[in-house]
Amino acid sequence: MDKKQVAIIGAGISGLLACKYCISKGFNPIVFDLESDIGGVWLKTIKTTRLQAPKALYQFTDFPWPESVIDHFPTQQQMLDYLRTYATHFGLMRHIKLQSRVETISYDGPSSPAWNSSGETFPKWNVSVNHTRTGTTQVVSIIGYVVDFVILCLGRFKDVPNIPKFPAGKGPEVFRGKAIHSMEYAAMDHDKAAALVKGKKVVVVGFGKTGLDIARECSSANDVRSCMILYMPDPDNFFDEVEKKSINLKKSKHISFYENGICIDEDKTQIEAEVVIFATGFKGEEKLKDIFESSRFGHFIAGSPRVPLYRAKWVAALLEGAFKLPSVDEMEKDIARWDEYMKQSTGEYHYRSPVGALEIWYNDQLCKDMGMNRMRKNGLFANLFEPHGPMDYVKH
């Protein structure tokens, strides 16, 4: 029997995991990524970016952090080195095609978009890929691939920036300075990014960690004025800079531009700026919807918990036929139940919420599907009250 052909879109952490587990099940994966290297969101970050979680809680179950990495919160470079070493160790690089942008994905099968829930047969998918090769001359070629299954590992936090919409005459087009998204700032080399804000009045719009990190970088470069929604920031030097007035905080739900800066709509305060950086997140799900040739598949994209380690293993087990999926109707009802449950604690922002305390429960469900013991620790007390980490999921 021929090996199942699996297309994996994205060579970040989830894509590498999906590739590794597909290989372990005897499939033939091919990974496409538009960048020139693996790493996903870690490939282009601002200079001060570090892992937000302690490294003991963020590592591969079968490939621990090397002892040479002594920082509890590794840097971007340490993270990239870790991912590259992982890919090399498990022989993943020969399955990865870099500088390869997936243009469209089309479905070639029965009228129903659902695959056989037995895991035994799957429809075919046509994947159109734009390959770019650079050398003395740039060569671009579009190649079509026919595969049995497609795994989307594109990530939510890159590629499609979320920039607020402004009324006519009140957007960045009237601003004499430079307005960019944090994605563009992160894509610059570190020297160029530092030069952009050096000696400038900078306004950062956004309250998340990226906005706070950019504000801190700007404040270390010069006397900077930063505007953001006040939120509990990473305390590393942040409050010191606030006290020194090199970072100023301003809470606002709505802003607009004028020729010399931005205007706070609530009280009509004008803030002069030469550079405005939007740290306002991404439209990750839009990227997923737009990749399908048929618009009907966009309706099937739903928010889901972000736990890549065991999800990749779960998908590989599904392809292997280790368990059967429920009916489409049952799965849609389950998504609706999950949606309502998340709304109880996070309201309208539930699609942007991490799994948090539900992560153990979520992994329990994946273990159950794969026929694995959900009790990952020795003893009932330990399973109920001790924290769970990646190393608790090493064994079956």
| 119 is a domain residue | yes
CATH of residue 387: 3.50.50.60
Alpha-carbon distance 52 to 234, whole Å? 10
Q: Is residue 10 located within the same domain as residue 142? A: yes
Residue ending a domain, among 253, 278, 303, is: 278
pLDDT for residue 54 is more than 90: yes
DSSP assignments along 305-356, one per residue = ---HHHHHHHHHHHHHTSS----HHHHHHHHHHHHHHHHHHHGGGGGG---G
Q: Render pLDDT for 145-172 as a digit per residue (tens, 0 to 9).
A: 999 999 999 877 888 899 989 999 999 9
Q: Is residue 110 located within the same domain as residue 198? A: no
Q: Which of 170, 173, 157, 123 is nearest to 268 (CA)?
A: 170
Residue 242: the pLDDT is 64
Residue 234: the pLDDT is 44
Q: Render pLDDT for 308-330 as a digit per residue (tens, 0 to 9).
A: 556 889 999 998 889 888 887 88
Phi first, then psi: give them for residue 235, nearest 5 degrees.
-70, -5
Coil, strand or helix at 268: coil
Q: Which of 173, 179, 218 is nearest to 200 (CA)?
A: 218
| 182 is a domain residue | yes
Angle between the 76-89 and 13-24 helix axes, to the nearest 10 degrees? 10
Q: Is residue 387 located within the same domain as residue 291? A: yes
Q: Render pLDDT for 371-394 as a digit per residue (tens, 0 to 9).
A: 888 888 888 888 888 888 888 888
Alpha-carbon distance 44 to 47, whole Å? 9
Q: Is residue 216 located within the same domain as residue 260? A: yes
Q: Is residue 190 located within the same domain as residue 290? A: no
Average pLDDT over residues 81-102: 97
Q: Is residue 152 located within the same domain as residue 272? A: no
Q: Render pLDDT for 12-43 as a digit per residue (tens, 0 to 9).
A: 999 999 999 999 999 999 999 999 999 999 99
Q: Is residue 94 located within the same domain as residue 51? A: yes
Confidence band, pLDDT 50/70/90 cuts, at residue 303: low
Average pLDDT over residues 349-378: 75
| 295 is a domain residue | yes
pLDDT for residue 220 is more than 70: yes
Q: Is residue 30 located within the same domain as residue 150? A: yes
Q: Is residue 152 located within the same domain as residue 297? A: yes
| 297 is a domain residue | yes
Residue with tokens 């799994």: 355
- Residues spanned by the domain of 136: 5-157+284-323+355-393
Average pLDDT over residues 80-94: 98
Alpha-carbon distance 61 to 307, whole Å? 13
Q: Is residue 75 located within the same domain as residue 123? A: yes
Q: Is residue 246 located within the same domain as residue 307? A: no
Q: Is residue 58 located within the same domain as residue 206? A: no
Alpha-carbon distance 202 to 222, whole Å? 10
Instruction: Judge whether 180 and 258 are in contact, CB under 8 Å.
Output: no
